[in-house]
Amino acid sequence: MELSSPDIRILIDELQYLVGGKIQKIYHERKDIHMNIYVSGMGTKTIVLGQGKFFVTSYSLKHRDSPTSFCMFLRKRLKSVRISSIEQVGFERIIILKTDIYNIIFELFSKGNVIVTDKDNKIISLIESRDWNYRVLKRNEIYVAPPEVIDVLNLDKGGLEALFKKTDKKLVPFIAREMGFGGKYAEELAFLSNIKKDELCKTLDKKQITSLYNSIESLLDTTKKTPFIVLEDKKKIDVSYVNIHKYADYDKINTKTFNDAVDDAFVSVMAIELASVDTKVIDKKISSLQKRLDIQEKSFQHLEELIIQNLKKGDMIYEYFQGIDRLINLVMAEVNISGWNDIEKRIKFEDKDIVLGSIDTKDKIAKIIIAKYKINILLEEAISKSAEAYYAKSKSQKSKLQGLRLAIANTMRLMQQKDDVVIVKKQIIKKKDTSSQKWFEKFRNFESSEGFLCVGGRDATSNEIVVKKHAEKDDMIFHADIAGSPFIVVKTEGKTVGDATIEEAAQFTAMYSKAWKANAGVIDVYWVKPEQVTKQAPSGEYISKGGFMIHGKKNNLTSELKVAVCMVDGEIISGPINAIKKKTNKYIVIIPGYTKSKDLSKIMKTKLFEKSNKGEQDLLRKIPIDKFQRCIPSDRGELELN
């Protein structure tokens, strides 16, 4: 798998955001260079260049322990140097990264090479010296590019016709080699022009040449990108930035950008190349992970039981309030008479439901038993304090449960990587690129079917931030008519918002309100303008964190509580039904219900799997259950039956 000249042209266009970036660490792996570049506002990006490769990767690449002498040279000369331009040499498979001091030239063809020159093109260093009749690549020599392929980008119809008249070659080989398109795109151009692949160039008539010329212009149109990865027997075998007939019947993975496709496919190949590890090593790692998973799952189950027990204990304190109150009064009356010494022996407490076990005189706690539950009662505090202590303990355990759930998902992910030969001594592990996270990704968000960004708080703190920091004059703010609702801001950017976006924003507000936990089918929602929202409370009143006072007229509407869930670009996303429909017709819908999120997530994954093609199913298999759980409001729900 190698990149052709059109591929490089597309990638050069997509990666222009690197211009102005500052070079940080550099690594040299065989004939590839991995270069960390810090881009203001986007964080550190890693660009991979070498033999047939050129892309920015979202993977963490493991590097050799000892840098090569060439790598040390690059680090010494280029650290903290800014990139002034990234260019393709004509229509060649040559890329030049220019700085104010040096030019770094990457020749991607043949065995590949990396050459560093000064501003006058004198070679200062390079990976491999070479000597041909037509050019010399050595230190202190002037860099000369290889004989240029035909400059397709500046070729008119007359020039194309003249080229064909001069050659005795067949169409596809000529386009592939002499014009630099590579085999698959050369075949596609022949197909689009309705010309036989092996037809001689000099025999083409004007009509055929016109058709071919138009096909070339269409293929090179960067606005018509539909990038994807090609799969064969689940293996990633190729990439393309446009649909081509050669791969019409193959499974594909569509990607957002062509760089994403190249990154995923090439790193997959690199992982296989590096995975020369004995199977026993992998199996030993899996065995270790399995033991870890067993311990984590047992801990998870135990923690779930403790959460239920502590909630039950808190509830029972209120249920048996009168009996507990009698016990406390009896104990404290005896303490007032004779003190705490031997208090247990002096207490004669009889109750059919409550058994007094013991009294801790140091911490002033009565240890009682109700229906086999051992409950501690604070003797010198209000009874509600004892109940709240159990509720607080349950809440703290829930927080730990979430962390444990993520740990389990991570262990399962590592175990699944066995089939991808990723758990090896030289690891290539997919990582989330949080450095380029956009501001709204910290909050609940979705894009409406009309293209408007809708952002909402996840809790009281983020509610405050969304409204105070991100709501602007022309925006719209939504809130459900119930205590315990997020504030949702529709970012209008001065444009008119249609009914579709209003309905979707209302549904988004409703689904994450407490109405979901109450199993409501519908809820009233309203929207207002930012100037109607304030933290200033009337005299004598207080507005809690995350809350606001609304002034003036509210625009009311009613919304159903439903959430659509789908997979887009290998990620699980959720949102209002019509907004998700805009992205895909392969989605499921959940509604309020009583099924726990863990169990419901498994059902959701299965249903999405049934709706997906082979390539999508391969992606779904690798997505952990917790990604689905995050889409379920209040940790419970049901699948809507069609």
HEC sequence for 265-313: HHHHHHHHHHCCCCHHHHHHHHHHHHHHHHHHHHHHHHHHHHHHHHHHH
For residue 283, what pLDDT band results from cuts at 50, 70 and 90?
Answer: low
| pLDDT digits 0-9 by tens, 581-603 | 998 999 999 999 999 988 999 99
| pLDDT digits 0-9 by tens, 357-375 | 899 999 999 999 998 899 9
Predicted pLDDT of residue 420? 43
Q: Lowest mean pLDDT: which of 49-63, 118-132, 207-221?
A: 49-63
| pLDDT digits 0-9 by tens, 118-165 | 999 999 999 889 888 888 999 999 998 887 667 788 888 899 999 999
Across the range 230-258, mean pLDDT stands at 89
For residue 338, the surrounding DSSP H or E stretch is helix 321-338
The one-character DSSP state at 147 is: S
What whole-number distance in Å separates Cα of residue 82 and Cα of residue 59? 23
pLDDT: which is higher, 148 or 10: 10
What whole-number distance in Å separates Cα of residue 586 and Cα of residue 504? 18
Q: Lowest mean pLDDT: which of 220-234, 380-394, 431-445?
A: 431-445
Across the range 211-238, mean pLDDT stands at 88
Q: Lowest mean pLDDT: which of 87-96, 346-355, 432-441, 462-471?
A: 432-441
Across the range 45-54, mean pLDDT stands at 86
Please, are residues 216 and 159 in contact by the beta-carbon 8 Å criterion?
A: no
Predicted pLDDT of residue 586? 92
Q: Say what percent of the chain tops pLDDT 70.
A: 93
pLDDT above 70 for 417: no
> In the block, which residue shows the tokens 């659509």?
564
Predicted pLDDT of residue 281? 57
For residue 171, what pLDDT band results from cuts at 50, 70 and 90?
Answer: very high
pLDDT: which is higher, 343 or 279: 343
Output the average pLDDT for the chain. Answer: 86
The one-character DSSP state at 567 is: E
Beta-carbon-side half-sphere exposure of residue 290 (alpha carbons within 13 Å): 7
Predicted pLDDT of residue 273? 52
CA 611 to chain centre: 22
Please, are residues 357 and 371 in contact by the beta-carbon 8 Å criterion?
A: no
pLDDT above 50 for 437: yes
Stated pTM of the model: 0.47
Which residues, other chains included, contact 532 with Cβ-Cβ below 8 Å and sequence gap of 6+? 477, 550, 551, 552
Give all domains of the chain, ordered by start, each with its CATH number. Answer: 5-137 (2.30.310.10), 152-223 (1.10.8.50), 278-420 (no CATH), 434-639 (no CATH)
Q: Say what percent of the chain tops pLDDT 90.
A: 42
Predicted pLDDT of residue 419? 46
Predicted pLDDT of residue 430? 46
Predicted pLDDT of residue 324? 92
Q: What is the DSSP string of 339-371?
A: -STTHHHH-----SSEEEEEEETTTTEEEEEET
Predicted pLDDT of residue 422? 38
Short-list 601, 235, 563, CA closest to 421: 235
Report the SS3 class of residue 393: helix
Short-list 247, 202, 208, 260, CA closest to 57: 260
Predicted pLDDT of residue 235? 85
Looking at the DSSP assignment, which residues form a beta bridge with residue 53? 50
Predicted pLDDT of residue 555? 95
Predicted pLDDT of residue 271? 60
